[in-house]
Amino acid sequence: MEGVGLTSEDPSKYYCYKNNEIESEYVSPGKESYEGEYLEGTIKHGKGACVYANGDKYIGKWEYNKRHGEGKMIWANGQNYTGSWDNDEIEGEGTMNMTDGNTYEGIFNKGILNGKGKQWTPDGNVITATWENGKIIDKNIDFFYNDGKKYFGTMKDSLWHGCGTLEYPNGLTYEGNFEDGLYHGNGKENQDEVNYNGEWDKGLKHGKGTYQDKYGNYCNGYWDMGEKNGEFEFLFVTDEKFIITFENDKPISKGKLYLNDVYDFTQETVDELMVCGYKRIIYVEWDSEEIKKIMKRVKEYKTFGKPMIEEGN
């Protein structure tokens, strides 16, 4: 049995019942009640619980009729706070659970988050930052997203903006500059042994940069909104060099391949070879047999730790 009723011992008071047992004294709407310690018989002082006329409830410490010390406030709308109070105001460390599903934990000043703190959003994001007058300061924000991404750095309007580091669940990382939530400016993207270090624009490689593939080969050149454009220099881990021109991310014409595999060369390349340190220069296309042989040696280098030089090459 649940409800409100009287007792024969004190018919002037109503009580709340549950399972035929008294749970608490019934307080009618619009009336405040207090149970706890008093000073001089009338002043709330010490530990006590107060139910306010509007349905709010406070359980904790009091000092001269004011909430002071550790206590918990439960508002009638379901919002609640547990933590430190000072002179009837939320002050110091505490945890606030909002009706919209957000939870804040940190330093409060006059009821407003002000200082270092942590926020849990309804959709599962976790933010560690510094607040000022209830607003997040844009610098040094730790943001853990519900999809596994992690970001540390500066933000603007809840977007990555300025300098920061972004980590994806698949191991991909980016460290550098952002603008409006996108890679922008100088930055380095890395995943396993593959990385790009250079300039970005609106989330795309744009400008001068260096790319390293999983075998340790490097290429240097200029990107145009994510596509290779212009002259690119490829430096293979097996010590060859290849220079070729790209247009709209596709190689055009033949490129210049610098080799170290033979000692014969033509007179017209003597001066260039003396400067660059290679033994032979030939002109080949991107999908030529020479490039395929180099990539075969590169893969063997990755597997065995040194190039497997074929006889006659």
Chain-centre distance for alpha carbon 233: 35
Q: Rounded to an integer, what distance in angstroms lies between the CA atom of residue 163 and that of residue 143?
A: 14
Return the structure tokens found at 231: 């002259």
Q: Rounded to an integer, what distance in angstroms lies between the CA atom of residue 108 and that of residue 303?
A: 58
Q: Nearest 5°: phi and psi at 293?
A: -65, -40
- Other C-beta atoms closer than 10 Å to the C-beta of 224 total 17
- What CA–CA distances, in Å, run from 258 to 138, 192, 231, 280? 50, 29, 15, 6
User: For 213-261, what is each residue's pLDDT tens digit?
Assistant: 999 999 999 999 999 999 999 999 998 999 999 999 999 989 999 987 6
Using a 10 angstrom Cβ sphere, with 0-12 exposed, 13-18 middle and 19 or more buried, the burial of residue 257 is: buried
User: For 270-283, what is each residue's pLDDT tens digit?
Assistant: 445 555 666 778 89
pTM of the model: 0.79
Q: Rounded to an integer, what distance in angstroms lies between the CA atom of residue 156 and that of residue 84?
A: 31
Q: Is the pLDDT assigned to residue 311 strictly greater than 50?
A: no
Please choose, from the candidates 213, 174, 167, the residue with its C-alpha nearest in 3D space to the C-alpha of residue 190. 174
Q: Is the pLDDT assigned to residue 75 strictly greater than 60?
A: yes
